[in-house]
Amino acid sequence: EPVLADSVVEYIGHPLAAVAAETMDIARSAAARIEVDYEVLEPILTIEEALEHEYYVADPMIMRRGDAASALNTAPHRLAGEVSCGGQDHFYLEGHIALAVPGEDQDMIVYSSTQHPTEVQHRVGHVLGVPSNAVTIELRRMGGAFGGKESQSTIIAAIAAVLARVSAKPVKLRLTRDDDMTVTGKRHDFLFRYEVGFDGNGTIQAVDMLLGARAGNVADLTTSVLTRSLCHADNCYYIPNALFRGYPCKTNTVSNTAFRGFGGPQGMIAIEEIIEHIARHLGLDVDTVRRRNYYGSGERDTTHYGMRVTDNIITDIIDQLEREVDITLWRATVDAWNRDNPVVKKGLAMMPIKFGISFNAPSLNQAGALVHVYTDGSVHLNHGGTEMGQGLYTKVAQVVAETFQIDIDTIKISATTTAKVPNTSATAASSGSDLNGMAAFNAASTIKDRMTEVAAQHFDVGVDEIHFADNRVYAGNQSVSFCELAELTWRNRVSLSATGFYRTPDIHWDVATLKGRPFYYFSYGVCVSEVAIDTLTGETKVTRSDILQDCGSSLNPTIDLGQIEGAFIQGMGWVTMEELCWNDAGRLMTHGPSTYKIPGSRDVPTIFNVHILKDAPNREPTIFRSKAIGEPPLMLAISIWLAIRDAVAHLTDYRHHVQLNSPATPERILTAIEDIRARDGGTATTK
């Protein structure tokens, strides 16, 4: 991937030159004077066009189990359909930014807003032609990232570094919001075409599905995103015969990239559409069809990519939520509302989720940490993870505090730097605390073991009799403070510094067959949402959402609640109002907050009940049996899209399948209403 366009500009907005100046204004006016002669080429802009021309950034990816073609032929019922979902701009409050500071020799320090300092280090080294040991990347925190800074920050940092090298001065590159939205990647929009075979109960026998992802001009992370889509196009459902065909479509638009959920949300939208389609066709309740298809025991516990679902709690968690919210009563209230109100209609829908935790490339599932204890008992902590508002630094510091049994404010969480913890993975795939928490635990445990030996000698007892509690270290009735023991350890000439390392066990993945156990475990959750739609304007309001989310044994329930709420609202934006529009020439027209609408505080559901599943430790030995939380709850917002569809389906008494893509904007909802009424012969009821 070239940092700047070379001879061919691949999309409108593709950066092709960079200017450094003493002030931002001078740089901007100089850049404005650059004249470019373009010869306009014929672009490929849409997924459909790319599919037609077989224009891809990588080979198509086929994931299969059984024989979908013959199972479709023999199935009692068979349906075909098409649905699409839009992309999404990350809209982090802090846009992309890098400050490159040249040092002595060939050295370069780059302060970069990035989820992936190591990849920035590699790319900066590459463009400068220097080894990794000459490049240091550092950051204390990002003002939000959401996947947008997993790979994309490399370009910003590389440009800043080149300009810093040629000018021999520090260079800061900060994109304006409009430039940021134009030149950096977004969530992949997808097109799905499917055929499903099922029996009279709604039990799925086969699915053949095309998943077309818009990659944009280069591959970036598209094949990984598509892999995750292929692995989540089952959601919680057992599909005995599956043929999932993934196409990484190349288009002359900005390269799409990681975004919270990383292809998972897209795959799940597709299968949820299929479940709903089956229900409408058979005249069954959607939740009934869901129940008939959940993963179970025996052969029904294995995914289409060969991983067994051994930690399945989806029906337990749904049962618990259904009991707590009394869904039958809720449905009756919605029905009553719809009988009494001719214009504003309500819809209700559930969304269960099963989300795989681990990077789908096994090699990425590793982390390092560095812990120093000083002789005054204060602790200096580094790990390879990055902080973007998700609370990772707090969680990792908690792990160290818990290990040493000391107060968290004794611990200095210092900036992430490639000079202290090398060869890291991106803080992504929700695995930041799983990986870095465990690496920090291992580092702290090494030091604790050494301190324990010193204490045992000091008190003349066995190591088993030493225990750490309340900032002190005890041997029976005797004790010293943690800092006294630190001092004593130093005097005994025992090291108070250690690195820690962690690799996720038991995972494997075969990229040729797309089979294996890519995930260490699954995270589960369920949400029921109620929406009101205005059938005259297409406007919607989420009137209530109830969430029950699995966090294992939560490391920090307050942070996790924040993550659940934030992810859910971000997902709500994706399925309802955030719409990326390109004109016919391929120019992105929605590149600022005036044209691209993210949810505001008033869009939050009127009633919003969020709960963490209790007494549900991770069955795998993760750090303190916790589970990852960053991405999974985003997909719970698909319940809103489904509830809107439920409200539209009500208009013709649930006789017809709703044709409505995501995002369900007012325009699309009005079109869906017209469409469903027309299919009902224009005699639609508004009862």
Query: What residues make contact with ligand MOS under the rule CB under 6 A?
Result: 115, 147, 150, 258-260, 262, 428-429, 631
* Interatomic CA distance for residues 484 and 499, integer angstroms: 22
- C-beta closer to ligand MOS: residue 146 or 194: 146
Query: Could you give the C-alpha distances from 672 to 396, 536, 582, 622, in angstroms and in order?
Result: 47, 12, 22, 45
- C-beta closer to ligand HPA: residue 348 or 429: 429
Q: Which of 14, 96, 188, 260 binds ligand MTE (CB under 6 A)?
A: 260
Q: Should residue 520 be labelled a site residue for ligand HPA when binding is judged by CB under 6 A?
A: no
- C-beta closer to ligand MOS: residue 228 or 277: 228
Shortest Cβ 145–ligand MTE spacing (Å): 4
Q: Should residue 257 be labelled a site residue for ligand MTE when binding is judged by CB under 6 A?
A: no
Shortest Cβ 419–ligand MTE spacing (Å): 21
**Residue 502, binding choice from ligand HPA, ligand MTE, ligand MOS, none, Cβ under 5 to 8 Å by partner class:** none
With a CB cutoff of 8 Å and minimum separation 6, the contacts of 549 are: 525, 560, 564, 610, 611, 612, 613, 629, 632, 633, 636
Q: Which of 65, 123, 187, 228 binds ligand HPA (CB under 6 A)?
A: 228
- C-beta closer to ligand MTE: residue 68 or 628: 628
Q: Should residue 569 be labelled a site residue for ligand MTE when binding is judged by CB under 6 A?
A: no
Question: How many helices and strands, by DSSP H and E, does the chain display?
Answer: 17, 23
Query: Which tokens belong to 291?
Result: 């129940």
Element at 645 (helix H, strand E): helix 638-650
Largest CA distance in the chain: 90
Q: Number of residues in contact with ligand MTE, rule: CB under 6 A? A: 20
Query: Which tokens belong to 585?
Result: 């020439």
Please tell me whether residue 646 adopts helix, strand or coil conformation: helix
List, in sequence order, the alpha helices (H) in 264-370. 264-282, 286-293, 314-325, 327-340
Shortest Cβ 91–ligand MOS spacing (Å): 14
**Residue 255, binding choice from ligand HPA, ligand MTE, ligand MOS, none, Cβ under 5 to 8 Å by partner class:** none
Shortest Cβ 360–ligand HPA spacing (Å): 4
**What residues between 359 and 378 interact with ligand HPA by CB under 6 A?**
359-361, 364
β pairing state of 344-357 and 241-250: unpaired
* Interatomic CA distance for residues 96 and 146, integer angstroms: 12
Query: Which tokens belong to 198?
Result: 């099922």
Shortest Cβ 641–ligand MOS spacing (Å): 20
Query: Could you give the C-alpha distances from 221 to 63, 152, 302, 431, in angstroms and in order?
Result: 18, 10, 27, 17
List, in sequence order, the alpha helices (H) in 303-410. 314-325, 327-340, 392-404
Shortest Cβ 187–ligand MOS spacing (Å): 9
- The catalytic site residues sit at 631
Query: Could you give the C-alpha distances from 183 to 117, 357, 590, in angstroms and in order?
Result: 20, 30, 12
**Residue 432, binding choice from ligand MOS, ligand MTE, ligand HPA, none, Cβ under 5 to 8 Å by partner class:** ligand MTE
- C-beta closer to ligand MTE: residue 84 or 563: 563
Q: Should residue 262 be labelled a site residue for ligand HPA when binding is judged by CB under 6 A?
A: yes
The residue number whose beta carbon is nearest to ligand HPA equals 429
* CA angle 293–294–297, rounded 5-degree value: 110
Q: Should residue 146 be labelled a site residue for ligand MTE when binding is judged by CB under 6 A?
A: yes
Q: Should residue 144 be labelled a site residue for ligand MTE when binding is judged by CB under 6 A?
A: yes
Place of tokens 């995750």: 228
Q: Should residue 428 be labelled a site residue for ligand HPA when binding is judged by CB under 6 A?
A: yes
Contact footprint for ligand HPA (CB under 6 A) = 150, 221, 224, 228, 258, 262, 359-361, 364, 426, 428-429
Q: Which parts of this chain interact with ligand MTE (CB under 6 A)?
A: 144-147, 260, 388-390, 392, 427-433, 563, 566, 630-631
